[in-house]
Chain A
Amino acid sequence: MGKLVVANNLTLTYENNPVIKSSNFTINSGDFVFLTGVSGSGKTTIIKSLYGELKPHSGNLRIGEFNLFNISKSKLSTLRKHLGIVFQDFKLIPEWNILKNVMLPLLIAGVNKNEAEQRAMEYLSRVKLSHKADKFPAELSGGEQQRAAIARATIHNPVMILADEPISGLDEYSASLVMDLFIKANQKGITIVIASHSIPTEFSINFRQLHIEKGKIYELA
């Protein structure tokens, strides 16, 4: 398995306030990774650095061929097209209906509208949201928005899915639907990184756990 993400002496800060201090970790292609830690430990911070929203303060951070320390705007766009991100606050486009929201990565990839629509309907049915396709984000419950966001993050077969607390706040039904989607995606070879304060019980597949504590990242067996 090739190394997809390599972090060396990575330090992440907000205005010189270090959150992650000189840490090392790697994520291999096809890994299913849980990024754990208490609230405020820096899970979201690491996810943000992985999609280039937060520039490393020092050290190295590479994803595939991209060096996130000095990535250009156009390369960042290219990288992001190959990621599927589930944000902690969903970030659905409020003035678009759910169907169009889910279509977004396909539209960006230049897939024609009809085909994108079909695929989006298919992915909506996977998260049991077909009946809400023409509703707007504000008309959906938190759990439903979460599921729509996950459909959007998986629809374009990304290389890696970054999901920030995708199941916290979900009821058991939604949570199992969502985890199922991630597992299916992983079986297709997609690398999964899930930030979560805990790992769901009864989790059947092989996974790795990277744990953040006091700004350092440890691999737990």
Chain B
Amino acid sequence: MSSLKSHFTLILALISILFSIFLFKTFSQILYKYKQNIIDNYSIVIVSTKQLSPNDVDNLGTLKQININNELKKLKQKYPNIDFSNITLPYFYKLKLNTLPSPKELENIKNELLNKPFIKKVMTKSSAQTKIYNLLMLLEIITKTFMYLIGILGFLLILKQLEVWKLLHNERMYIMELFGAPFWFRGAALFKIAFIDSLISLIITFILIIFVTNLTIFQKVINDLGINYQIDYLKDFGLLFVISFIISFISSILVVIGKK
């Protein structure tokens, strides 16, 4: 009844929207995990003349004292003629930050800490991980922009589809109305098409997702990032399923309501 072409537009629009939603979601999650991962492994070493409480470091993160007894022992063995009991040794702390700072923020934090009289030394390492993280942030901005564009494109395609549907179905729906057909009756054919198109788009999108996420490059990137990321296919597919049906049914309802 309805040509392949009339299905094509909606299916294409739905696939692009669904797939970009999936990528968007996956990318954000990977990034979030990676960020957590860096935070977990990232710390600043502080040398202080007194015992520190979190308040002393402006609650920037959690403090952990570094045990220097082992080092002290080695030193004592190395220099047996120095009397270490007369030397007041400073306290060493590892500061684990709550959030991941940019290199500039890190510099500020360092200066802030050094301004405190009891803090003698602050050691940071401009880790390679933050560089990767910055790269990922850039990538995120680019991909998000890209995905918004795809979303807008999909939306425009759907508007186009509505026009086509109007042309194809208006006359029939109008005649049905003249014979007193209720809303659901007039829209039945369109709802059916919307349902079938949603289903087709979902199947294609799922296949696409399974294909992409099983690519060795995808797996390799995740492994190289050193994070443990599992795609929850069931949850993701469920979400896309709901979105797909909502979009196509709203579209078809708009056509049935907006006829004439």
Interface residues of A (CB under 8 A from B): 51, 53, 76-83, 85, 87, 91-96, 104-105, 107-108
- Chain B min CB distance to A48 (Å): 10
B259 interfacial contact with A, CB 8 Å: no
Chain B 65-78, CB within 8 Å of chain A: the 1/0 string?
A: 00000000000000
A85 touches B1 (CB 8 A): no
Cross-chain contact of B171 among A77, A81, A94 (Cβ < 8 A): A94
- Chain B min CB distance to A49 (Å): 14
Q: In the assembly, what is the distance between CA of A78 and CA of B150, in Å?
A: 45
A77 touches B172 (CB 8 A): no
- Chain B min CB distance to A111 (Å): 13
B180 touches A79 (CB 8 A): yes
Residue picked from B178, B180, B185, most chain A C-beta under 10 Å: B180
B172 touches A105 (CB 8 A): no
Q: In the assembly, what is the distance between CA of A176 and CA of B178, in Å?
A: 27
State the 9 A-B residue pairs at the shortest beta-carbon distance, nearest first. Answer: A80-B180, A81-B180, A77-B180, A108-B181, A93-B172, A91-B175, A105-B179, A93-B175, A108-B179
B176 interfacial contact with A, CB 8 Å: yes
Residue of B nearest to A52 (CB): B178
CB-CB under 8 A from B1, the residues of chain A are 95
Given A95-B1, A108-B185, do A78 and B180 touch, yes or no (CB 8 Å)? Answer: yes
CB-CB under 8 A from B171, the residues of chain A are 93-94
Chain B 170-196, CB within 8 Å of chain A: the 1/0 string?
A: 011001111111100100000000000
CB-CB under 8 A from A92, the residues of chain B are 175
- Chain A min CB distance to B97 (Å): 63
Given A93-B172, A94-B171, A95-B1, do A104 and B179 touch, yes or no (CB 8 Å)? Answer: yes
Residues in B187-245 with C-beta less than 8 Å from chain A: none
A85 touches B180 (CB 8 A): no
Cross-chain contact of A53 among B172, B176, B178, B185 (Cβ < 8 A): B178
- Chain B min CB distance to A57 (Å): 20
Q: In the assembly, what is the distance between CA of A105 and CA of B177, in Å?
A: 11
A77 touches B182 (CB 8 A): yes
Residue of A nearest to B188 (CB): A107
Q: In the assembly, what is the distance between CA of A114 and CA of B25, in Å?
A: 49
- Chain B min CB distance to A164 (Å): 12
